[in-house]
Structure 1
Amino acid sequence: MPRGAAARTDSKVKMDGCLSATEFGSAMAQRWKQAREKGDPVTLLLVDLDSLHELNVTHGRDEGDRAINASLAALAKNAKAERWTLGRVGGDEFALLAPGVATEAAFLRADAIRRE
């Protein structure tokens, strides 16, 4: 959030299956350490919802919240199925942590999720 901006308290974003930025940071540090100790691969995928600001300006924040909720539902479903960790790291930015998954394999799976 930009410095000096008021926090929005009327958001209708459902965070089911998605960690907050603080929770995600803690989970990522723990899983990254475990993977490094075992010598296992770990991939961090960053997801940025394009044009969310324009959607909010043009159609209102409720519509933006609906778009985030739809995206989050798909991300959470797939994160659970893949045993990945999902977290919100910014307003329209999310991250998926994929322990035990090499980068190329994670990108292929992420591309399939993106197309859903």
Structure 2
Amino acid sequence: MTTTSPQTVLAPARARTAADSATARRKQGFQHGGWFVAPFLVLFALFVIWPLLRGVYLSFTDANISGDGAGFIGLDNYREALHDQLMWDSLGHSAYFTLLVVPCITVLAFLLAMLAHHIER
């Protein structure tokens, strides 16, 4: 016959209690953290998500700047844009600008970071 001490019987209960309290602390921390993140999420939705969705919706309508006559026209705006030479010129200028500026800024930032690292020593 095997005898068990009260400490052996209570050890798993203590382990469960510690795990439960850790889970409770984690949940409580998440709830508090949610309040800190909430203002960012509200502002992000208001100033990024909403305009993005509104712009996609308007791209499928014939709305003008005054908001009159916003009827659904499907892909007609995209078909018109693909046949517009001004749109292709604008894309070409944007690509040209990007290919000139981005490498220069990247190299400059890298050199300044190396300089700052060297000065820090």
TM range (shorter): under 0.3
The higher relative CO (CA closer than 8 Å, separation ≥ 6) is in: 1
Larger radius of gyration: 2
* TM-score scaled by length of structure 2: 0.22
| TM norm structure 1 | 0.22
Question: Which structure shows the bigger proportion of residues in strand conformation?
Answer: 1
Return the structure number with greater helix share: 2
